[in-house]
Chain A
Amino acid sequence: MSTEDIRQVILEILERIAPDEDLTDLKDDVPFRDQMELDSMDFLDIVMELRKMYRVQIPEEDYENLVTMDKTVSYLLPILKDVNSPA
């Protein structure tokens, strides 16, 4: 998957977790926590959504890489590189 594919996947995950949130103006370099008030339960859900979709395991010590969209995408890029982009 490309950077753009991964960004799209994360956006869709965020939309499912917080369907009331308007994500059109989401800034890629600002922490999700500050923009959407995501808490630890929500971060765990992002991890579980990824596991559900792509069978990837993200160890707890790596959660800090999921702070912003930019960081999440660059963290996931090598992990998801062999996964086909979503149809």
Chain B
Amino acid sequence: MRYDTIIIGAGLSGLAAGIRLAYFDKSVCILERHTTIGGLNSFYRLRGRNHDVGLHAVTNYAKPGTKKGPLSKLLRQLRLRWDDFALCPQIGSSIAFPGHTLNFTNEFEYFQQQVSEVFPEQKDNFAKLVKAIEQHDALDLEREKVSGRKVVSSYISDPLLVEMLFCPLMFYGSATAHDMDFSQFVIMFNSIFREGFGRPYQGIRLLLKKLVKQFRSFGGELKLRSGVQSIREKDGKAIGVVLDDGTVLEADNVLSSAGSIETFNLCQQKNELVKKYQPGEITYVETIFSLDCLPSELDHHKTIVFYNDQPDFRYENPVLPADVKSGIICSPNNFDYDEPLEEGRIRITALANTDYWMNLSEEKYLEEKKNWCEKIIDSAVRYIPDFRDHILDTDMFTPRTIKKFTGHLNGCVYGAPDKFVNGKTHLKNLYLCGTDQGFLGIIGSMLSGISISNAYLMD
């Protein structure tokens, strides 16, 4: 069998790319190594409970009927209806720093008001920053990189506000430590503060189910348990792949969502290529608690709390196994659903030292998970009501888990620091999409798959 395009990976970017290509009558096959779809945003069942892997919140929320913005663009490109994703809006989130808390909802005016109440002397500066953000074309792919911190600090003169603005934006979308490119800052600012958070009642399963159904209905082929062992090349061109079991598949184009270095590792010149690029180093541990009550019954109503117990926010690969000075507390219950979710859940995410978790023996690994899980809760209950007496079940994943199930080096959630924005590689007909192309998150990665397909794979 020869395909027009083979896609490596059935994560959100691969599925979105597949839908575009299949819709326009290309023969396309998505190959996924894992037993199920979703990649970094998948789902699993453990001790009788359904869990999402990655989903805290879908960013870029838009109300039904919205005609503009990334979500509407995405739905049109995938020929889906708003109801297919059925996003319920968040109740309200916050950024908590020592002595200062900024709340935000999906109404941007409310956030502007919060900034002027909490930082009255920064009101005008913030308005200027917002204006600069509005005027910045973040999707201009030719633009030089500039330090986001530099630009933002040129408007905002209170360093604490700068840190508080960067905290959620870096947590939810920076592949680089300490600072992010200003364009990426703008993309994340808009997707979180301007557009906001939503979640389907049924979690990521719903989105993934819709995507696969759409892909199949347009004639696309999806093969699970079909890892790609190598990419076949001829005269500097990709001509197909070899699967883990030795099966050879031919294709005119190969589109990989596995990551940049991860993809180069499948190529003949891997030794030279891999030396040229740095893998990412930002990754997380996440703890998931099932509760015997709803968080609201404990008087916890926030959708997401981004906290940091120091005046400055350190977004980096921590020296300790996990950094409990800062974190993200998400309650999937605290969205505006028609009816409450079956069970109360709290998820807490903290920056993690990837090498530490990768190199532990199996026995020590389990012990350390337990150990750090406790430290993480102890830290988080400074910011939300103490829920420790209500825990029914706990799960925790680490960079090691992410590596195991998605193949991403170092278990990195946002991939390598250097992005391949135009999707091109050293091989003709081999393209990158997803995390390492540079559009991040659930909506971002789908737009990435769409953009790269539109640019190269439609003729």
Q: Is the CB of A41 within 8 A of B77?
A: yes
Known: A41-B454, A44-B454. A20 touches B65 (CB 8 A): yes
Q: For residues 7 through 66 of chain A, which have their beta carbon under 8 Å from a beta carbon of chain B? A: 16-21, 36-37, 39, 41-42, 44-45, 48, 52
Across the interface, B76 reaches (CB within 8 A) one of A42, A48, A52, namely A42
Known: A37-B67, A37-B68. A16 touches B24 (CB 8 A): no
Q: Is the CB of A45 within 8 A of B76?
A: yes
Enumerate chain A residues within 8 angstroms of B25, measured Cβ to Cβ: 52
Which chain B residue shows the least CB distance to A21? B67
CB distance from B66 to the nearest CB of A (A): 9
Question: Which of B78-86, B101-109, B274-282, B330-338 faces chain A?
Answer: B78-86
Q: Is the CB of B67 within 8 A of A36?
A: yes
Q: 1/0 per position for B417-459, CB-CB distance to A under 8 A?
A: 0000000000000000000000000000000000000100010
Q: Which B residues form the contact surface with A (CB < 8 A)?
A: 24-25, 64-65, 67-68, 72-73, 75-77, 79-82, 454, 458
Across the interface, B81 reaches (CB within 8 A) one of A20, A36, A42, A48, namely A20
**What is the bound-complex CA distance between A52 and B79, given in angstroms?**
15
Q: Is the CB of A20 within 8 A of B79?
A: no
A-B contact pairs, 15 of them (CB 8 A): A17-B79, A18-B76, A19-B79, A19-B81, A20-B65, A20-B82, A37-B72, A39-B73, A41-B73, A41-B76, A41-B454, A44-B454, A45-B77, A48-B24, A52-B24
**What is the bound-complex CA distance between A39 and B76, given in angstroms?**
11
Enumerate chain A residues within 8 angstroms of B72, measured Cβ to Cβ: 37
Known: A39-B73, A52-B25. A16 touches B79 (CB 8 A): yes
Enumerate chain B residues within 8 angstroms of A18, measured Cβ to Cβ: 67, 76
Which chain A residue shows the least CB distance to B23? A52
Q: Is the CB of B68 within 8 A of A20?
A: no
Which chain B residue shows the least CB distance to A51? B24
Please report whether the interface of chain B is mostly helix, strand, loop or mixed according to DSSP: loop
* 10 further contact pairs, Cβ within 8 A, besides A20-B82, A37-B72: A16-B79, A17-B76, A20-B65, A20-B81, A39-B73, A41-B77, A45-B77, A48-B458, A52-B24, A52-B25
CB distance from A44 to the nearest CB of B (A): 7
Q: Is the CB of A20 within 8 A of B458?
A: no
Chain A interface size range = 10 to 19
Tally A-B pairs: CB < 8 A. 31
CB distance from B141 to the nearest CB of A (A): 15
**What is the bound-complex CA distance between A17 and B454, given in angstroms?**
15
Enumerate chain B residues within 8 angstroms of A44, measured Cβ to Cβ: 454
**What is the bound-complex CA distance between A57 and B58, given in angstroms?**
38
CB distance from B330 to the nearest CB of A (A): 28
CB distance from A30 to the nearest CB of B (A): 14
**What is the bound-complex CA distance between A39 and B458, given in angstroms?**
19
Enumerate chain A residues within 8 angstroms of B81, measured Cβ to Cβ: 19-20
Enumerate chain B residues within 8 angstroms of A41, measured Cβ to Cβ: 73, 76-77, 454
**What is the bound-complex CA distance between A19 and B77, given in angstroms?**
11
**What is the bound-complex CA distance between A34 and B191, given in angstroms?**
24
Enumerate chain B residues within 8 angstroms of A42, measured Cβ to Cβ: 76
CB distance from B426 to the nearest CB of A (A): 28
Enumerate chain B residues within 8 angstroms of A17, measured Cβ to Cβ: 76, 79
**What is the bound-complex CA distance between A19 and B243, given in angstroms?**
38
CB distance from A53 to the nearest CB of B (A): 10
CB distance from A59 to the nearest CB of B (A): 14
CB distance from B452 to the nearest CB of A (A): 13
CB distance from B86 to the nearest CB of A (A): 12
Enumerate chain B residues within 8 angstroms of A16, measured Cβ to Cβ: 79
Enumerate chain A residues within 8 angstroms of B68, measured Cβ to Cβ: 37
**What is the bound-complex CA distance between A44 and B68, given in angstroms?**
17
Best-buried of B25, B67, B77, B454 by chain A (most CB within 10 Å): B67
Enumerate chain A residues within 8 angstroms of B79, measured Cβ to Cβ: 16-17, 19
**What is the bound-complex CA distance between A52 and B26, given in angstroms?**
11
**What is the bound-complex CA distance between A49 and B307, given in angstroms?**
48
CB distance from A54 to the nearest CB of B (A): 13
**What is the bound-complex CA distance between A42 and B25, given in angstroms?**
18
Which chain A residue shows the least CB distance to B64? A20
Q: 3 nearest interchain CB pairs?
A: A37-B67, A19-B81, A20-B82
Enumerate chain B residues within 8 angstroms of A37, measured Cβ to Cβ: 67-68, 72
Enumerate chain B residues within 8 angstroms of A19, measured Cβ to Cβ: 79-81
**What is the bound-complex CA distance between A41 and B80, given in angstroms?**
15
**What is the bound-complex CA distance between A37 and B77, given in angstroms?**
14
CB distance from B76 to the nearest CB of A (A): 5
CB distance from A3 to the nearest CB of B (A): 26
Enumerate chain A residues within 8 angstroms of B24, measured Cβ to Cβ: 48, 52
**What is the bound-complex CA distance between A45 and B82, given in angstroms?**
19
CB distance from A25 to the nearest CB of B (A): 15
Enumerate chain A residues within 8 angstroms of B454, measured Cβ to Cβ: 41, 44
CB distance from A45 to the nearest CB of B (A): 7
**What is the bound-complex CA distance between A37 and B80, given in angstroms?**
17
CB distance from B191 to the nearest CB of A (A): 18
